[in-house]
Amino acid sequence: MPQSLARLLIHVIFSTKNRAPLLLPEVRPAVHQYLGTVLRDYDCPTVRIGGVEDHVHLFFGLSRTLSIAKAVEIIKTTSSKWIKLQAPNLAEFHWQNGYGAFSVSPSQMEAVIRYIENQEAHHREISFQDEMRGLLHRHGVEYDERYAWD
């Protein structure tokens, strides 16, 4: 095949450093929009972006020319610089070091979209850490609890 073709749907989740509740409702829509712009600029079409005050969910198509690690590095570095300029209380903003990334079957797209859209209600019942533990378990990802959070 002379052409490289791919469609990889990825659900990426990462939090603010130490899960600081800095993504308040008044800044969150602009942050989500900016994250979508960064993804678009790197040929990663956005399906849905959402989250709450201490973390984000990005659901997108991974560019065939980027690794997941490189895409997340670009997203976090670029957006962190931008977020710091948005308000004085965000001048020290940082994302956590790690992230969770999960492949999504096209048949599960609507379920993931609903999941991301329902984050506010979801996190009235469950913490970020418990959410991540559940996702890691469902996706069969082994991890060491001692190094999972920062």
pLDDT in tens, 61-106: 999 999 999 999 999 999 999 999 998 999 999 999 999 999 999 9
Q: What pLDDT shows up at residue 121?
A: 92
pLDDT at 1 over 70: no
- Whether the predicted pLDDT of 150 surpasses 80: no
Give the HSE-up count for residue 40: Cα atoms under 13 Å, Cβ half-sphere: 10
**DSSP type of residue 9:** E
Query: Concatenated DSSP letters for 41-108?
Result: HTT--EEEEEEETTEEEEEEEEPTT--HHHHHHHHHHHHHHHHHTT-GGGTT--B-S--EEEEE-GGG
* pLDDT over 70 percentage in the chain: 99
Q: Where are the domains of the chain?
A: 8-141
Beta carbons of 135 and 101 less than 8 angstroms apart: no
Q: Is the pTM of this model over 0.95?
A: no
The CATH H-level superfamily of 8-141 is Transposase IS200-like (3.30.70.1290)
In this prediction, residue 52 carries a pLDDT of 97
- Using only the alpha carbons of the chain, give its radius of gyration: 15
